[in-house]
Amino acid sequence: MKRNPKIFSPIVFVLLAPIACSTFAPATAAPTAAPTPTSAPTSTAVPLYQQVRLAAVPSEEDGQSPDHKITAQTPTLNGSDDPRVQTFNKETGDFVQGLIADYKKNLAAMGTPPLAATSYFDVRYALVSPPGNILSLKYQTEGYIAGMAHPYHQIYSFTYDLEAGRDIALGDLFLPNSNYLQTISTYCAAQLSTRDIDFKDFSGGADPTADHYKNWNITPDGLMITFDEYQVAAYVAGPQTVTVPYGELKSLTDPDGPLEPFVR
């Protein structure tokens, strides 16, 4: 996961084959054939995502010199010790702690604040993907250091394939050489231009570069792109979100990739 400025106890279904009922033939009848043996019971493995649940582990810290308060939510999977779960938990834990460490560095670099105010930093997240193997998280942070004109906000995204036990990059969703960034950029720019956010003055922030589209999430309705404040609009307009319908991306999507269930 980049930091760049970037579920139920197993249920076993036992299938019982019909039990053959014997009939008694008259004494003078020929012997009946031996009954066919019943099939052995079978079981169905429960997918890993149904064995675990995602919970927000809260943390809080107060500090002095200068005065500050840090609050955070760390997304954590519970219910299984599977290595894929452990990998997810380590990545999310390291990521949140990394954000906090970066804030503390910035806080120390500012020195003594010019006014008596408490600085703060907050990290929250939302799971925006539908139930399944794909876990797509959207982190939202808000920070303030005494002396700043106003708080700042930054968005981060993380998408993880629980079944495969690996992170998913944006390029993993599409066919090689499909020029998916251009398609996504064209759609987003068209949507942003209809909003009262002075997009024309910030349109370069929607150009088709990987850095401009680092904040993306898989949602039930489409590929959600989030632009940080100042990227495609002035601070007062806040971060901007555009959801690209999967139909717009169908011809570019890797049929063996993570988006296949959504665009079929």
Q: Is 122 in the same domain as 180?
A: no
What total of structural domains would you count in the chain?
2
Alpha-carbon distance values, 34 to 19, 92, 131 (Å)? 14, 61, 49
Q: Is 155 in the same domain as 176?
A: no
Burial of residue 247 (number of CB atoms within 10 Å: 0-12, 13-18, 19+): exposed
Query: Is pTM, for the whole model, over 0.85?
Result: no
120-149 average pLDDT score: 96
pLDDT confidence of residue 3: 57
Q: Is 164 in the same domain as 178?
A: no
Q: Model confidence over 147-196: pLDDT tens digits?
A: 898 999 999 999 999 999 999 999 999 999 999 999 999 999 999 999 99
Q: Is 65 in the same domain as 126?
A: yes
Q: Is 2 in the same domain as 133?
A: yes
Residue with tokens 């299984």: 80
Does residue 258 form part of some domain?
Answer: yes
Does residue 31 form part of some domain?
Answer: no
Q: Is 152 in the same domain as 53?
A: yes
Q: Is 109 in the same domain as 124?
A: yes
Of the residues 131, 152, 168, the one at which a domain ends: 168
Buried b (16+ CB within 10 A) or exposed e, 111-121: eebeeeeebbb
92: CATH = 3.30.565.40
Q: Is 52 in the same domain as 102?
A: yes
Q: Is 119 in the same domain as 2?
A: yes
The domain of 249 spans 169-264
Q: Is 153 in the same domain as 140?
A: yes
201: CATH = 3.90.640.20
Q: Is 103 in the same domain as 181?
A: no
Strands 134-144 and 152-161: antiparallel
Q: Model confidence over 155-169: pLDDT tens digits?
A: 999 999 999 999 999
Does residue 25 form part of some domain?
Answer: no
Q: Which helix (H) or strand (E) holds 155?
A: strand 152-161
Q: Model confidence over 233-260: pLDDT tens digits?
A: 999 999 999 999 999 999 999 999 999 9
Asked if residues 115 and 82 have their Cβ atoms less than 8 Å apart, the reply is no
Q: Is 215 in the same domain as 189?
A: yes
